[in-house]
Chains A and B, each alone.
Chain A
């Protein structure tokens, strides 16, 4: 089915016209869905053309209705998914939108990953092709429905022509096209040849369904990313091409170190090793298989020049951050007069929060396959940043971006890692492949590489001072944030850095929803050679914790119930108010708990979705604690697939529990201390609480669920621990004292 899709990368091809829509429609869509703070980039037209062109039909009699929908003679509907499937369910969610408007039967739908082609498959929130910021559903909601609706119209027109009846008399339901008046009906497949002769309908000639008529949206239809229970699903790690070599790279022991000299003789003597090549990021060993490459890498003798290398330790960094936090930073938000309000307040609560570096540690360590040849470059990857990777590869190889073909595979997790704004591991692969033209090269990172070669959630320190008046109402909040910028030095700078402030450093704090008259958030951006990157929910991973722990401490200082205290401050924020109230109700907030148990709540909005979680913890005899149960409420607008939403909340909670309970990357004299899952520990089954998810019914435009489940869990657990121990918790991972 892939036919020659990858060679048709010309944006001006008729296939590229896809679902055309006009600028007004797009702006409406953007305004309605709201562009996520993170990664909300440029407002460009959905697809530039409104011309009505003849769609192509392949030799087998397939209808290519538009860039997103193909229908074959056997009635299979293939939906082309422009976003990376990394477990979040996008193969299911986007296909549901098409199937709904097409009135297809869910069983006839098949999802397929899109190739890199910015013109056809850009993320409408970014203006470039890529996946992130929990934007897949939000940016595609109207586009994918239009794709389904226009394809449906072609089938209706074809049936009307065939039966010589009016289009208005044709009905479509569950994959059957019928003319009730004459009792005739047919399948999609039967209409493919006729429909393929028709021009693509203008988008204003179709009407999207009224939400009341939805049959698939809102239902937990089965997932479409299959092959995950029998080993048949294909990941980058599974690609094998004729003549392919496997490459492992020896990376420098410290960031900033470079190769001084290499003795590769012993490595080259190992059976199966084919070559050793020096690349900008280290020394690559190419071999017939992984094990030979690994042995070859172990046998390399490399002298590193560490004169310019990073040589600090985590403790030292934290001290430096704390020093910086004594001085005012660049102001991200400033309401009222925080300084004088703090000076005259009845009670001031202060805390310094510390967050370590974190590795993404996706189950599939980073990897990529590339073939550099005379014709260009072909890549196989769980690809999350098509436009950027294509451009970076093209610039390095002296190609045009369209000479870089990218084949899409499933990703074995990513959590942001595969959307590297510097194209790091992709470029590492291309540099190796460039040295071996005509030979496909698979780069495989070991778990040690994945843990030590970087791109971390940055280390952060927050200093918060907040104050109450004599009635226990919050009157002032001052939050100072210190940490590295993710966006500086990337192509995202223009969109995400304003007046020196990286929006991803302060999101969630500068947007604090609680009504506090005097509120100030400022930022110190630190420059370090440690490579950093977005990590599932980005800035919210730390701001969600500091703000929600602090608001709890304020409630306690005021002698008020944490839920009632928050609700009183959210009168103007109905959706935050709604999830908080729902979570508290479902958790039976206030009901007695067993001895040694504590209950805590946290609420955080991220990527335009609202999540509140109540955690119940129990103290264990061994001085440890256990997270027993989590009750989660989520408002993500129209719930496309409730079960996928539940799964993302469960997964977000489990993912957020790792940094809450055990994960941290630390530096000792510039070296990463951790290397594999024994010392970079992550949540295991025995530590997973029971999770209950409640979805707020909503008619608002749908927003993402991949990330928003993460931020509230750590503060909810910390607040529960405070409730039962009286201790305060300002550092992750959490430790009882």
Chain B
């Protein structure tokens, strides 16, 4: 049975079981691969996307609950917060292997949209669900602050 899913402002006809996690719908059906698989259990944040602007873990969010809502992935994120975050990420050379960074950026952008001036504790709290095995955490913190300054 085919359903309509809106990803990055575009409607896609999806033929997948309703319990299919949004992550695999995005990767295997919509064929956008910037959103990553890291754990499948909401433990690492690699799969973070925005659902109606809110950050969610797409690996544990079934297709059935996102119908009629707007899904935004790293490929389509366009808010000024997201652009500032991406720019700061590049300027400070945050990524190493890069595999976690789509999720990091989606979490950071959502943080700055909700709280344009986060302090260290708020940054740590908002980013606690995003693992980076390359341990780029110091630069992530710095880049969020730089993006925050740029936005103000």
User: Would you call B52 an interface residue if the criterion is a C-beta within 8 Å of the partner chain's C-beta atoms?
Assistant: no
- Closest chain B CB from A659 CB (angstroms): 12
Q: Would you give the 0/1 interface string for A206-227, flagging 1 where the beta carbon is closer than 8 Å to chain B?
A: 0000000000000000110101
Identify the 9 closest CB pairs spanning chains A and B, nearest first.
A231-B34, A654-B135, A412-B99, A228-B98, A87-B97, A87-B96, A688-B137, A231-B74, A238-B33
Q: Across the interface, do B36 and A364 meet the contact criterion of CB distance under 8 Å? A: yes
Cβ–Cβ < 8 Å partners of B137 in chain A: 654, 683-685, 688
Interface-lining segment among A21-29, A470-478, A555-563, A674-682? A674-682
Cβ–Cβ < 8 Å partners of B29 in chain A: 289
A412 nearest CB neighbor, chain B only: B99
User: Would you call A258 an interface residue if the criterion is a C-beta within 8 Å of the partner chain's C-beta atoms?
Assistant: no
- Closest chain A CB from B90 CB (angstroms): 6
B74 nearest CB neighbor, chain A only: A231
Cα(A444)–Cα(B131), bound, Å: 20
Q: Across the interface, do A86 and B39 meet the contact criterion of CB distance under 8 Å? A: no
A648 nearest CB neighbor, chain B only: B96
Cβ–Cβ < 8 Å partners of B33 in chain A: 231, 234, 237-238, 240
* 11 A-B residue pairings within 8 Å (CB atoms): A87-B96, A231-B102, A232-B75, A237-B37, A361-B133, A362-B97, A363-B99, A412-B36, A651-B134, A678-B41, A685-B140
User: Would you call B20 an interface residue if the criterion is a C-beta within 8 Å of the partner chain's C-beta atoms?
Assistant: yes
Q: Across the interface, do B75 and A685 meet the contact criterion of CB distance under 8 Å? A: no
Cα(A243)–Cα(B23), bound, Å: 21
Name the contact of A289 in the complex, choosing from B28, B130, B132 (C-beta under 8 A). B28
Cβ–Cβ < 8 Å partners of A691 in chain B: 138
CB neighbors of B among A651-702 (8 A): 651-655, 657, 676-678, 682-686, 688, 690-691
Q: Across the interface, do A447 and B38 meet the contact criterion of CB distance under 8 Å? A: yes
User: Would you call A525 an interface residue if the criterion is a C-beta within 8 Å of the partner chain's C-beta atoms?
Assistant: no
Name the contact of B34 in the complex, choosing from A230, A647, A683 (C-beta under 8 A). A230
User: Would you call B146 an interface residue if the criterion is a C-beta within 8 Å of the partner chain's C-beta atoms?
Assistant: no
Q: A228-B98, A688-B141 are in contact. List 13 more A-B contacts (CB 8 A).
A: A231-B34, A237-B37, A240-B31, A289-B24, A291-B17, A363-B38, A412-B99, A413-B134, A651-B96, A677-B44, A682-B131, A685-B141, A688-B137
User: Would you call B51 an interface residue if the criterion is a C-beta within 8 Å of the partner chain's C-beta atoms?
Assistant: no
Q: Across the interface, do B43 and A678 meet the contact criterion of CB distance under 8 Å? A: yes
Interface size counted on chain B using CB atoms at 8 A: 56
Cβ–Cβ < 8 Å partners of A361 in chain B: 133
Most A-side CB within 10 Å, residue of B32, B39, B73 = B39
- Closest chain A CB from B24 CB (angstroms): 4
Cβ–Cβ < 8 Å partners of A240 in chain B: 31, 33
- Please classify the interface of chain A as helix (H, G, I), strand (E, B), loop, or mixed, using the class held by over half of its residues: loop
Name the contact of A365 in the complex, choosing from B38, B41, B75, B131 (C-beta under 8 A). B38
Cβ–Cβ < 8 Å partners of A410 in chain B: 97-98
Cβ–Cβ < 8 Å partners of B89 in chain A: 229
User: Would you call A446 an interface residue if the criterion is a C-beta within 8 Å of the partner chain's C-beta atoms?
Assistant: yes
User: Would you call A643 an interface residue if the criterion is a C-beta within 8 Å of the partner chain's C-beta atoms?
Assistant: yes
User: Would you call B112 an interface residue if the criterion is a C-beta within 8 Å of the partner chain's C-beta atoms?
Assistant: no
CB neighbors of A among B99-131 (8 A): 99-102, 105, 123-125, 127-128, 130-131
Cα(A222)–Cα(B94), bound, Å: 11
Q: Across the interface, do B135 and A365 meet the contact criterion of CB distance under 8 Å? A: no
A367 nearest CB neighbor, chain B only: B37
A363 touching B36 in the complex, CB below 8 Å, given contacts A229-B86, A688-B138: yes
Cα(A20)–Cα(B40), bound, Å: 49
Q: Would you give the 0/1 interface string for A438-469, flagging 1 where the beta carbon is closer than 8 Å to chain B?
A: 00000010110000000000000000000000
Most A-side CB within 10 Å, residue of B29, B37, B138 = B138
Q: Across the interface, do A655 and B38 meet the contact criterion of CB distance under 8 Å? A: no
User: Would you call A650 an interface residue if the criterion is a C-beta within 8 Å of the partner chain's C-beta atoms?
Assistant: yes
Q: Would you give the 0/1 interface string for A398-415, flagging 1 where the beta carbon is closer than 8 Å to chain B?
A: 000000000000111111
User: Would you call A88 an interface residue if the criterion is a C-beta within 8 Å of the partner chain's C-beta atoms?
Assistant: yes
User: Would you call B58 an interface residue if the criterion is a C-beta within 8 Å of the partner chain's C-beta atoms?
Assistant: no
A687 nearest CB neighbor, chain B only: B137
User: Would you call A6 an interface residue if the criterion is a C-beta within 8 Å of the partner chain's C-beta atoms?
Assistant: no
- Closest chain A CB from B94 CB (angstroms): 8
Name the contact of A647 in the complex, choosing from B36, B40, B74, B96 (C-beta under 8 A). B96
Q: Across the interface, do B133 and A685 meet the contact criterion of CB distance under 8 Å? A: no
A382 nearest CB neighbor, chain B only: B97
CB neighbors of B among A619-663 (8 A): 643, 647, 650-655, 657
Q: Across the interface, do B24 and A690 meet the contact criterion of CB distance under 8 Å? A: no
- Closest chain A CB from B42 CB (angstroms): 10
Q: Across the interface, do B36 and A290 meet the contact criterion of CB distance under 8 Å? A: no
User: Would you call A271 an interface residue if the criterion is a C-beta within 8 Å of the partner chain's C-beta atoms?
Assistant: yes
User: Would you call A736 an interface residue if the criterion is a C-beta within 8 Å of the partner chain's C-beta atoms?
Assistant: no
- Closest chain A CB from B13 CB (angstroms): 16
- Closest chain B CB from A219 CB (angstroms): 13
B132 nearest CB neighbor, chain A only: A363
A363 touching B46 in the complex, CB below 8 Å, given contacts A413-B134, A647-B93, A685-B128: yes
Name the contact of B124 in the complex, choosing from A234, A444, A647, A685 (C-beta under 8 A). A685
Cβ–Cβ < 8 Å partners of B24 in chain A: 289-291
Cβ–Cβ < 8 Å partners of A87 in chain B: 95-98, 134
Cβ–Cβ < 8 Å partners of B66 in chain A: none
Cβ–Cβ < 8 Å partners of B93 in chain A: 222-223, 643, 647
Q: Across the interface, do B130 and A225 meet the contact criterion of CB distance under 8 Å? A: no
- Closest chain A CB from B32 CB (angstroms): 7
B101 nearest CB neighbor, chain A only: A228
Name the contact of A677 in the complex, choosing from B43, B95, B139 (C-beta under 8 A). B43
Cα(A413)–Cα(B21), bound, Å: 24
A291 touching B21 in the complex, CB below 8 Å, given contacts A651-B134, A651-B135, A678-B41: yes
Cα(A223)–Cα(B98), bound, Å: 12
Cβ–Cβ < 8 Å partners of B36 in chain A: 235, 237, 363-364, 412
Q: Across the interface, do A229 and B101 meet the contact criterion of CB distance under 8 Å? A: yes
User: Would you call B3 an interface residue if the criterion is a C-beta within 8 Å of the partner chain's C-beta atoms?
Assistant: no
CB neighbors of A among B1-49 (8 A): 16-17, 20-21, 24, 27-29, 31-41, 43-44, 46
User: Would you call A43 an interface residue if the criterion is a C-beta within 8 Å of the partner chain's C-beta atoms?
Assistant: no
Q: Across the interface, do B20 and A230 meet the contact criterion of CB distance under 8 Å? A: no
CB neighbors of B among A51-66 (8 A): none
